[in-house]
Chain A
């Protein structure tokens, strides 16, 4: 395990996950398609997961990996619920453009 980190270096993992996270953030901010937004959120989530695993290896501590399992399980449930909501929205409005979802305006 140390070999992998020695070969690539922990900082590269950090850069990768930061880049992934930023991609996710910009995807959320700029895309209007709800599914794409949803995917971007997943990218952010996985960027964080990646960081967890990398540090887990770096510190020789299994806790981070265990946490990632939890987070993935929760993410799976979240995806199921989120997609169900999206399907329902599409059935009602005929579109999943988030600009159309303004019924909650105060």
Chain B
């Protein structure tokens, strides 16, 4: 029963994918949308069933499908592990996934390749589910690679634009670098513990047979972290995520904000017992997370493309999650993943609604004044912005506050960095909100004429997500955390249990809220009071120019990685390959030259032939006699 249900859970989106690939074009756009959405909704229903069951029994469900392969004593099963962690992930992957499918029905309705779009989306959900419920690292890796592929396909969905194709390739290649780290991590773990199954691994690692081997455990943890930083867009592999905004907006919402980019966090949480044994790597994770949060937030301050702002905000929020992971607060990271999924999906879908209304315009300098026309979009966007800025009582407040608190307890510098990032987050989110929805409309007359609220298929997911973004914090209230108890079986025991909620915590909360309000206040002063509009690209000078150009990181990578590789490739092509082919062609040329000369001997004169024949026989005989 459980086995069959789990198969339904995994295969429903896959069947949706097959249908949309093979019959999508004939079936028509409505059918495609319904099938695509339903297949994900089925998965959501099954996840919900499992979730309720496990919430009751508190026992993980392990499903072994078949023996995949074995090398001597090293056996790998193909199986699923449905425990508290994976079910939590499944719930929001399939739940938000279903909402975004619904949204896409309307959003992509005018696209000629809508069936392809839904096919890719379904395939993505299929791989994401595989990633989440795999019972060992290799099954997870299948999903890991699969979501990378779908991300590539969807970023480059409008493949007639070469820039979009380049963005897709960039995402894919950046991810490959991370994937290599992940693979090395899997191999190292297999070598160390001779198993890669999560349940066995946890036993072996906690059993401590190999705990003396800190160096190798550190290498494994570092390799896994590199994998995670590729997928979850951390320094130094984060540059692909902002470019990934080339894809259609539902894709940005689903893959590049809510689900796929949290795969790295999922993986590290899954392997928490390993990271606990490598404190040095944990420190690295925390520092990388904090720095990423700050750097991405500063870049986000000056971007003018509505989706780019959200993209950098995603990178920044992911950085905060990694900060929490590095400090050993897995539950807090998971909490922030969930609340972030709600409000970031809402923000992206809201921006999609705006872009839809403006017929593809993404530059905030050409927006403005939309709040009167697009009431639902505005309200949902406002709620999500308040949530991401950490204003109580919205969900982001609780999760971000917990991260800041953990940071404060561990290291004051990390706390300052994270707080700065939060203030900036509040600023750029409200900058976005003010520029988009307030004041006068700055686009063309024709656009103004066509402004409209989006259809209900678009606004419905927005409303649901806004509600979730508003109340999502309830799952982990300070002092009385449902999430904490729910996740306790899969996470390491916290040594000093939740200490009493004292004045320090209240002070920190107040500081965080004031910080958020300051950010909002600056944005209000700048864009509402002084009525500023960001300058044209050419007029940007000074530090903001550096920020606007993203610290020139892309150019830097271009210079130190892409250029040398190109030079090397050119060298191999022009020099080495030329030399090698010269040798190969040389043999051919030599044979031809000998042939041309030798042709003269074949002059057709029988007398000459006979003479040569006799001469030859004489030569052979002489040789034979001399050899004797």
Chain B residues whose CB sits within 8 angstroms of the CB of A28 once the complex forms: 610, 614
Mask, A20-37, CB within 8 Å of B = 1, is: 000001001100100001
Chain B proximity mask over A64-106: 1 for CB below 8 Å, otherwise 0: 0000000000000000000000000000000000110111111
* A105→B602 contact, CB < 8 A: yes
Partner of A101, one of B599, B602, B606, B611: B606
Return B599 CB to nearest CB of chain A, in Å.
Answer: 6
Could you pull out 15 A-B pairs where Cβ atoms are within 8 angstroms?
A: A25-B614, A28-B610, A28-B614, A29-B607, A32-B607, A37-B610, A98-B607, A99-B605, A99-B606, A101-B604, A101-B606, A102-B604, A103-B604, A105-B603, A106-B603
A102 near B605 with CB under 8 A, answer yes
16 further contact pairs, Cβ within 8 A, besides A37-B610, A101-B604, A106-B604: A25-B614, A28-B614, A29-B607, A29-B610, A29-B611, A32-B607, A98-B607, A99-B605, A99-B606, A102-B603, A103-B604, A105-B602, A105-B603, A105-B604, A106-B599, A106-B602
Q: Which residues of B contact A105 (CB under 8 A)?
A: 602-604
Nearest A residue to B602 via CB reads A106
Q: A21: shortest Cβ distance to chain B, in Å?
A: 11
* B residues in contact with A101, CB < 8 Å: 604, 606
Residue from the set A101, A102, A103, A106 with the largest chain B CB neighbour count within 10 Å: A106
Q: State A99–B608 Cα separation when bound (angstroms).
A: 10
Q: How far is the CB of B602 from chain A (nearest CB, A)?
A: 3
Report chain A residues within 8 Å CB of B605. 99, 102
A88 to chain B, nearest CB (A): 16
Report, nearest first, the 5 A-B pairs whose CB atoms are least far apart.
A105-B604, A106-B602, A102-B604, A98-B606, A104-B604
A104 to B606, CA, bound (A): 9
B604 cross-chain contacts in A, Cβ below 8 A:
101-106
Interface SS of chain B: helix
Q: How far is the CA of A102 from the CA of B75 in the complex (A)?
A: 77
In the complex, A29 Cα to B599 Cα: how many Å? 22
| Neighbouring B residues of A99 by C-beta, 8 Å | 605-607
Residues in A40-61 with C-beta less than 8 Å from chain B: none
Could you tell me how many residues of chain A have their Cβ less than 8 Å away from some Cβ of chain B?
Answer: 13
Question: CB-CB contacts of B589-604 with A at 8 A, as 1s and 0s?
Answer: 0000000000100111
A29 to B602, Cβ gap below 8 A? no
Task: Count residues of chain B with CB under 8 A from any CB of chain A.
Answer: 10
Inter-chain CA distance A102–B602, complex, in Å, is 10
Contact status A29-B614, CB under 8 Å:
yes
Instruction: Give the shortest distance, in Å, between A28 (CB) and chain B (any CB).
Output: 6
B window 200-232: CB within 8 A of A: none
User: Which B residue's beta carbon lies closest to that of A40?
Assistant: B610
Please indicate the chain B residues that have their CB under 8 angstroms from the CB of A32 in the complex: 607
Per the bound structure, the CA–CA distance linking A88 and B606 in Å amounts to 17
Whole-angstrom CA separation of A32 from B335 in the bound complex: 107
Chain A residues with CB under 8 A of B606: 98-99, 101
Shortest A52–chain B CB gap in Å is 18
Which A-chain residue is minimally distant from B615 (CB atoms)?
Answer: A29
CA distance A106 to B595 in the complex (A): 11
- Smallest CB separation, B218 vs chain A (Å): 75
A34, chain B: closest CB distance, angstroms: 9
Interfacial chain B residues near A25, Cβ < 8 Å: 614
CA distance A105 to B602 in the complex (A): 6
Tell me the chain B residues, 573-628 only, with Cβ under 8 Å from chain A: 599, 602-607, 610-611, 614
A96 to chain B, nearest CB (A): 11
The distance in angstroms between the C-alpha atoms of A99 and B48, with both chains bound, is 101
Cα(A106)–Cα(B603), bound, Å: 6
Q: What's the least CB distance linking B366 to chain A, in Å?
A: 80
Please report the C-alpha to C-alpha distance between residue A40 and residue B614 in the assembled complex, in whole angstroms: 13
Neighbouring A residues of B607 by C-beta, 8 Å: 29, 32, 98-99
Taking CB atoms, residues of chain B closer than 8 Å to A37 are: 610
Using Cβ atoms and an 8 Å threshold, which residues of chain A touch B602? Answer: 105-106
Across the two chains, which residue of chain B brings its CB closest to A25? B614
Task: State the CA gap A99–B603 with chains docked (Å).
Answer: 11
CA distance A105 to B606 in the complex (A): 10
Question: How far does the Cβ of A27 sit from chain B's closest Cβ, in whole Å?
Answer: 11
Q: Which of B599, B603, B610, B614: most chain A CB closer than 10 A? A: B610
**What is the CA–CA distance of A32 and B604 in the complex, to the nearest angstrom?**
14
What's the minimum C-beta distance from B613 to chain A, rounded to whole angstroms? 9
- CB of A36, distance to nearest CB on chain B (Å): 12
Residues of B within 8 A of A104 (CB): 604
A101 to B614, CA, bound (A): 19
How many Å lie between the Cα of A32 and that of B606 in the bound state? 10
How far, in angstroms, from A25 to B611 measured CA to CA in the complex? 9
Distance to closest chain A CB from B102 (angstroms): 80
A104–B602 Cα distance when bound, in Å, is 8
Nearest-CB residue, chain A, relative to B604: A105
CA distance A98 to B606 in the complex (A): 6
Complex alpha-carbon distance, A78 and B607, angstroms:
20
Residues on B with C-beta less than 8 A from A103 are 604
Residue on A with the closest CB to B603? A105
Shortest distance in angstroms between A37's beta carbon and chain B's nearest beta carbon? 8
How far is A101 from B599 in the complex, measured between Cα atoms in Å? 18
Q: Report B348 CB to chain A, min CB distance, Å.
A: 78
Closest to B606 in A: A98
How far is B617's CA from A28's CA once the two chains are assembled, in angstroms?
14
Cα-based distance from A29 to B603 in the complex (angstroms): 16
* Cβ–Cβ < 8 Å partners of A102 in chain B: 603-605
C-alpha gap A60/B604 in the complex (Å): 47
B residues in contact with A98, CB < 8 Å: 606-607
Minimum CB–CB distance for B595 against chain A, Å: 10
B339-359 CB contacts (< 8 Å) to partner A: none
A32 to B605, CA, bound (A): 11
Note all chain A residues with C-beta closer than 8 A to B614.
25, 28-29
Tell me which residues across on chain A come within 8 A of B610, comparing CB atoms: 28-29, 37
**A105 CA / B600 CA spacing, docked (Å):** 9
Question: Cα distance A37–B611 when bound, in Å?
Answer: 12
Question: How far is A44 from B2 in the complex, measured between Cα atoms in Å?
Answer: 97
Q: Which residues of B contact A29 (CB under 8 A)?
A: 607, 610-611, 614
- Give the chain A neighbours of B599 by CB distance below 8 A: 106
Q: Give bound CA distance, A70 to B599, whole Å.
A: 38
Q: Measured between C-beta atoms, what is the minimum distance from A71 to chain B in Å?
A: 18
Q: Who on chain A is nearest to B605 by CB?
A: A102
